[in-house]
Amino acid sequence: MKFCTVKQYFDDENNNNVTNGIATTVIPLPNKHLKIKANNKEMEQYEQELLRNVMPQELTKLILAANYLNFKEALDFFCRTVANAIQNKSVDYVRKFFGLESDFEPGEEEKLCKEFAWSFEGVDED
């Protein structure tokens, strides 16, 4: 299944959706995934490494590539990586990570923070 789409990509030279660099990260994934599927700890370490080497902007492209290649395992993996990246972080950190601005009405954000007061303990320093 996966190899069909990849082959198609290589055959289609006019394809601009996936740059070369991304391909070299995404495509070796199935082998790597199968090899270390049994070992969760290794997967975690690989995840950490990937996170260090890859900028958040790259993640967008990686996800789009995985999506285009219909590569479910890679997509899940990248989504998990993003989730881990924003684990135990503050609202501002998450905002910056996604490049978002607060578009709430005045006072609405304050209301939300009060509503979710229980979630604000023990958050990492930015």
Summarize as ranges the residues that interact with other proteins (CB under 8 A).
56-57, 59-60, 63-64, 67, 75-76, 79-80, 82-84, 86-91, 94-95, 97-104, 109, 112-113, 115-120, 123
The smaller minimum CB distance to other proteins, of residues 27 and 63, is found at: 63
Between CA 109 and CA 113 the distance in angstroms is: 6
One-letter identity of residue 40: N
Between CA 66 and CA 78 the distance in angstroms is: 9
We find the least distance from the C-beta atom of residue 13 to other proteins, in angstroms, to be 24
The smaller minimum CB distance to other proteins, of residues 13 and 121, is found at: 121
Burial classification of residue 46, based on how many CB atoms lie within 10 Å of its CB (0-12 exposed, 13-18 middle, 19 or more buried):
middle
The smaller minimum CB distance to other proteins, of residues 7 and 110, is found at: 110
One-letter identity of residue 111: K
The smaller minimum CB distance to other proteins, of residues 13 and 115, is found at: 115
We find the least distance from the C-beta atom of residue 36 to other proteins, in angstroms, to be 19
Cβ neighbours for 97, distance < 8 A, ≥ 6 positions apart: 56, 85, 86, 89
